[in-house]
A and B are shown apart, each in its own frame.
Chain A
Amino acid sequence: MRYIEPHAHMVSRTTDDYEKLALAGCEVLCEPAFWAGFDRSSADGFYDYFRQLTEYEPRRAARFGIKHFCWLCINPKEADDPGFAREVMALIPEFIDKETVLGIGEIGLNKNTRSELAIFEEHVQLALDHDLPILIHTPHLEDKLKGTRLILDSLASFSKLDRSKVIIDHVEEHTVGLVLDAGFWAGMTLYPESKCTPNRAIDILEVYGSERLWMNSACDWGISDPLSVPKCALEMRRRKHTPEQIEKIVFDNPYKFLSQSPRFRI
């Protein structure tokens, strides 16, 4: 089965994981810029991170026949200090036209602070200025519902925003309806403990249908599973979803959304 992994943090994973992904049928992988498990001490740390995302990871993935793309931003976990965040944002123009950069992400909120929201909105404007898609992170656990509402309210103030070019990720049962009803794409993250399980993601598909939804592993530095998308596809098979339904969610949908970026050519 071929599939697209639309959200994985490979800088935190081993080369063996690329091999496993390739064996499982992963043909394309997209890596949003995010927290690396620790706070970087200077903007220079991000300069190197952006080089890793745009130069090193595409080469590492290519050894296994996987096409690697990335998204750029300063993530919300490190955006509570606006001075620091703007210093990092000033680096983005140097990288934004590189051939594997899809858009701006994953931006969003972490603890729902004023500064996080200000930096979020500056990123949205940056994406609009460059006519690029946006990938949005929603907060964890108790902060998710509030953060999702704040993000939706904020996006509503951008009158020029094309909602079909924005994906709001890490939705769960209490936020997926809000996101889809507002006309955005929604991402379901298969992540142990803090996000969806395969069965819950499949429930969401059965209840909401499969338009404007994708699935990802968001595997990173935490306990997470780079193979959670093919494992969920297997669970779909066990629940008698058809091969076409599975192909739509693991390949066609991410392909459709990502193709809105001019750099996404596979």
Chain B
Amino acid sequence: MLSKRELLDLQFIDARARLIDLAAFLDRVERHGDEADIRLNYFKEALPILQENRPDRAKAVLEKFSDFTPELTDTAPFQGATGAPIA
């Protein structure tokens, strides 16, 4: 396994670029009007998870975007998925 320093040497610049990309994504979306969209609400609710002091942030973000209803549905409303439990 790599030391923390080695891991940062290997991946810090890439992670930094991804974080800036996320910031730019939010700027971009909001520049395109103030129409509400529930997907964006989920997205913003997930952001504070990154600041939490826990070992499983990726799992928590995935759970934030997950459908927690327990029941089977009668038929598929559509075939694909949107990335957030909007139905």
Which residues of chain A have a CB within 8 Å of any CB of chain B? 77, 80, 110-117, 139-146, 149-150, 172-174, 194, 199-200, 203, 206, 238-240
| Interface class of chain A by DSSP | helix
Residue of B nearest to A153 (CB): B70
Complex-state Cα separation, A80 to B72, whole angstroms: 12
Interface size class of B (residues with CB under 8 A): 20 to 34
Number of A-B contacts (CB under 8 A): 80
- When the two chains form their complex, are residues A110 and B76 in contact, meaning their CB atoms are under 8 A apart? yes
- When the two chains form their complex, are residues B72 and A114 in contact, meaning their CB atoms are under 8 A apart? yes
Known interface pairs A146-B66, A238-B10; A113-B74 also in contact (CB < 8 Å):
yes
Closest Cβ of chain B to A226, distance in Å, is: 23
| Complex contacts, B77 vs chain A, CB 8 Å | 111
- When the two chains form their complex, are residues A145 and B63 in contact, meaning their CB atoms are under 8 A apart? yes
Closest Cβ of chain A to B6, distance in Å, is: 8
Closest 4 CB pairs of A and B: A111-B76, A141-B81, A174-B62, A173-B59
B:40-65 near A, CB below 8 Å:
56, 58-59, 62-63, 65
Closest Cβ of chain B to A259, distance in Å, is: 30
| Interface class of chain B by DSSP | loop
- When the two chains form their complex, are residues B59 and A174 in contact, meaning their CB atoms are under 8 A apart? yes
Complex-state Cα separation, A134 to B12, whole angstroms: 40
- When the two chains form their complex, are residues A112 and B66 in contact, meaning their CB atoms are under 8 A apart? no
- When the two chains form their complex, are residues B2 and A173 in contact, meaning their CB atoms are under 8 A apart? no
- Selected A-B contacts with CB under 8 Å, 14 pairs: A113-B73, A117-B72, A139-B81, A141-B83, A142-B83, A142-B84, A142-B85, A144-B66, A145-B62, A145-B67, A173-B56, A173-B58, A174-B62, A194-B81
